Amino acid sequence: MLIASLVFCLLLIACFAAGWYFSDQVIAVRSFTVEETYQCEVDCGKLVPANWEALPRQEVRVASPFGYELYGIFIPVKSARGTVIITHGITFSLYGSVKYIDLFRMCGWNVLLYDHRAHGHSGGHFKTYGFYEKDDLKVWTDWASSRGEVVAVMGESYGAAVALQAAPLIPEIAFIVADCAFSDLPSLLKYHLKYNYHLPAFPLYHLSNLITRLRAGFFYEQVNPLKAIATLTTQTPILFTHGERDDFTPTQMSINMYNAYPGPKRLYLSPGAGHGLAFWTHPVKYTEQVGEFLQENGFACVRN
């Protein structure tokens, strides 16, 4: 009996440790430093230092409703028609959004880049995949709207999922470009458990889910971009883009959201592109898709 009890206790400890580890991989995964992300984009040719330094830039700091500071960089243009807020992917920083600036800046839009909570220069502890980040994005749209301008959002991966979840909170948003977003966090995590860890969802997913709720205040099921847009009452135009060969966030997720969204929409699948590479693999075609999307929704490109 004593041995059986000891084995049972050891199994419980092992299960808890495994659940904690997976929770860590979800909400406390290490972010790259600002310096690392900057250098990565430079090394990949996605950020040209001379071009970046030549841009007019203004550092902006706003207060999150959850008690920490959020950091951003505002890049204005003359006679702007509005501001596009660009949100980056997980573990990165606002420098991952620099490659998208000219998509909008050359058409007369200001651009605002910012670091998510627990990334870059922003505060906050856990990464929550939109559960808290959607309210942070609302703060940024309020800041941009206070300038008396139209506000739109483009997001990549994690940032795209944040943008889609924020849409119900921001009825005035002009449009959204969602690049390689996940449709719901449970499906994404179970996908990674199967293909990256070669493990079934039970019991690790469920233990991790409970531990994450205790640590960060949310269940994975509460992070659901597809549900957020499927019930959206506004007619916000959304462009869904995704790499056809994305094995990090399955391409089908964007297809599912496109099919579920009842409002104005467009879908572009970038041939041969992996995760977060839809634009970089086919920049001309991607730019055309964004331009056509803007034009058909009343925001035709007006080049400055």
How far is it, in rounded angstroms, from Cα 197 to Cα 213?
22
pLDDT number for residue 198? 85
> How far apart (Å, rounded) are the C-alpha atoms in residues 270 and 283?
10
Task: Return d(Cα 255, Cα 242) in angstroms, integer.
Answer: 9
Q: What is residue 10's predicted lDDT score, i.e. its pLDDT?
A: 64
304 contacts 106 by C-beta, under 8 angstroms? yes
In three-state secondary structure terms, 299 is coil
Separation CA 73–CA 55 (nearest Å): 11
Is the C-alpha dihedral spanning 273, 180, 156, 79 positive or negative? positive
Contact call for residues 266 and 293 (beta carbons, < 8 A):
yes
Q: Radius of gyration of the chain from Cα atoms?
A: 20
- What token pair was written down for 228? 């957020």
The 10s digit of each residue's pLDDT in 102-152 is 999 999 999 999 999 999 999 999 999 999 999 999 999 999 999 888 999
Mapping DSSP to helix (H, G, I), strand (E, B) and coil, where does residue 147 land?
A: coil
The percent of the chain in helix, strand and coil, each rounded to the nearest 5, is 45, 15, 40
Q: What is the reported pLDDT for 42? A: 98
Cα-based distances in Å from 197 to 17, 22, 171, 183, 209? 16, 10, 40, 21, 17
Pairing of the two strands 58-63 and 69-75: antiparallel
DSSP class of 276: T
In degrees rounded to 5, what are phi and psi of residue 283?
A: -60, -40
- Residue 303 confidence (pLDDT): 65
pLDDT for the residue numbered 199? 86
What are the pLDDT digits (tens) for 267-281? Answer: 999 999 999 999 999
Q: At what angle do helices 133-145 and 158-166 cross, to 10 degrees?
A: 70
- pLDDT, residue 14, reads 73
SS3 of 73, please?
strand
Residues 6+ apart with CB under 8 A from 277: 243, 270
**Is 237 in contact with 225 (CB distance < 8 Å)?**
no
Segments of the chain scoring below 50 in pLDDT: none
Residue type, 58: Q
